[in-house]
Chains A and B, each alone.
Chain A
Amino acid sequence: MEQQLVVKTTDLTKRFHGVHAVDNVNLQIPKGAIYGFLGPNGAGKTTAIKLILGLIYESSGSVTIFGKDLKREKLSILRKVGSLVESPSYYGHLSAKENLEITRRILDVPKSRIDEVLSIVRLEKEASRPVKGFSLGMKQRLGIASALIGNPDLLILDEPTNGLDPSGIIEIRELIKQLPEQYGMTVLVSSHLLAEIDQMATQVGIITKGKLIFQDSIDVLRKKAVSKILIKTNKAEKAWRFLLSAGWKGTLSDNNIVFPGMSDKKVADVVKSLIHQQFEIYRVEEEKMSLENIFLEMTKGEQTL
Chain B
Amino acid sequence: MLPSLMYTEWLKLKKSNVFPLVWISPLLAAVTGYFTMFDSGANQWFDPYFQMLLIHAVLFLPMMAGIFSASVCRYEHQNGGWKQLLALPVKRSSVYLSKFFIVMLFIAITQLLFFIGLLCVGMLQGFTDPFPWGMMLTRVFMGWIACLPLVTLQLWASTAWASFAAPVALNVILTLPNILVSNSEKFGPWYPWSQPFLGMLLGEEGDFFYSTQTLVFVIIGGFIIFSIGGLLYFKQKAV
Contact = CB atoms under 8 A, between A and B. Distances in A.
B88 A107 contact: yes
Contacts of A92: 75, 78-79
A89 B8 contact: no
B89 A75 contact: yes
Interface size class of B (residues with CB under 8 A): 20 to 34
Contacts of A85: 80, 83-84, 87
Contact of B84 (A75, A98, A146): A146
A94 B5 CA distance: 16
A56 B8 contact: no
Interface residues of A, number: 34
Interface string A106-147: 111000000000000000000000000000000000010010
Contacts, number: 84
B236 A105 contact: no
Contact of A89 (B1, B15, B79, B89): B79
A143 B83 CA distance: 12
Given A91-B12, A106-B5, A55 B75 contact: no
A101 B80 CA distance: 17
Interface in A27-68: 50, 53-57
B84 A89 contact: yes
Q: Which of A78, A81, A93 has the most CB of B within 10 A?
A: A93
B7 interface: yes
B79 A56 contact: no
Contacts of A108: 4
A77 B89 CA distance: 8
A162 interface: no
A57 B238 contact: yes
A99 B11 CA distance: 9
Interface in A74-99: 74-79, 81, 83, 85-94, 98
A86 to B, nearest CB: 7
A57 B236 contact: yes
Given A75-B91, A89-B80, A106-B5, 9 more contacts: A74-B89, A83-B87, A86-B80, A89-B79, A90-B81, A101-B8, A106-B1, A106-B4, A106-B8
Interface of A: 50, 53-57, 74-79, 81, 83, 85-94, 98, 101-103, 105-108, 143, 146
